Amino acid sequence: MHALLHGFSYPFRAIRLIAGQPLLWRYIAIPIGLNLLVGFVLYTTLLLAGFQAIDALLAGWPAWIEWLVRGLLIVALFVGLGYLLVRFGVVLGSPFYSRLSELLEERLRGVAITAPPATPANIARDLGRALSFELKKLLLTLAIGLPSLLLNLIPGAGSVLATIAGIALGATIACLDFFDPPLERRRWRFRAKLGFIRRHLPASAGFGLICLGLVSVPLFNLVAVPICITAGTLFYCDVAEPERAT
């Protein structure tokens, strides 16, 4: 339990760190502006459609269970929108977040592994790795998310189980996103990144759950991504400094 709560603490530590480091603000302001634009588009188009779909799905359900399932589906809707916002936010802000993570690691450890020079060959390689990473996260989401949807076919408890599975998957994807800058600089493979999450349970579970919650809160999630990127670098520097990918 202590490790789980310790994982929860990292975003709050990140906020204090960012507030005391004005030189880092430039790497946060531009991505937040991009997130504001993306968030406006997502919430003005998909949120209303999601509420209408929930109303249509639950039409005619008994009142004693309708309220519970409605609450779970609304939570799932906000988690899903937060997931989409992070997808766009991480990709669009990746150059700024990478530099932010480098500077944080340099301040925390005195030295950091920097990204390779921006030569055409390195840019092409980094683009290929980024696309591969996103594809593998998508395949992981489909491999776990689609079977989880079938749980909704189970009357009553099925929706609860499906929501729990979706939250667990979302927390794992959040860990992959926000631990990625220091791990990617070391050219860790996808399985090694998953192994990092597994080895540091339950602290990584606490980290993933709190970050998933933050990016699912409307409006606040527009500034949550750089906070969680900072938190992920703090986590790495605290618990994984001696580690190497295998």
Taking only the tens of pLDDT, the chain with its 246 residues reads 777 888 889 999 999 888 888 888 888 888 888 878 877 887 788 877 888 888 888 877 777 777 777 887 887 787 778 777 777 777 777 778 888 888 888 888 776 566 666 566 665 676 677 778 878 888 888 888 778 777 766 666 777 777 788 888 889 999 998 998 889 888 889 999 999 999 998 999 999 999 998 888 877 877 888 889 899 999 998 886 555 544
State pTM to two decimals: 0.74
Q: What is the pLDDT of residue 196?
A: 94
* Angle made by CA atoms 98, 114, 181, in degrees to the nearest 5: 35
**Residue 235 and residue 54: Cα distance in Å, rounded?**
37
Say if residue 27 is exposed, middle or buried (CB neighbours under 10 Å; 0-12, 13-18, 19+).
buried
Closest CA to 104 of 34, 197, 10: 10
Q: What is the pLDDT of residue 103?
A: 85
Q: Is there a contact between 173 and 79 (Cβ–Cβ < 8 Å)?
A: no
The backbone region for 187, taken as left when phi is positive above 0, alpha when psi lies in -120 to 50, beta otherwise, is: left
Rg (CA), the chain: 19
Q: Give the pLDDT of residue 122.
A: 61
CB hemisphere CA count around 104 (13 angstroms): 33
Amino acid at 195: G
Instruction: Look at the block and give the residue holding tokens 């400094």.
Output: 241
Residues in the chain: 246
Instruction: Return d(Cα 1, Cα 3) in angstroms, integer.
Output: 5
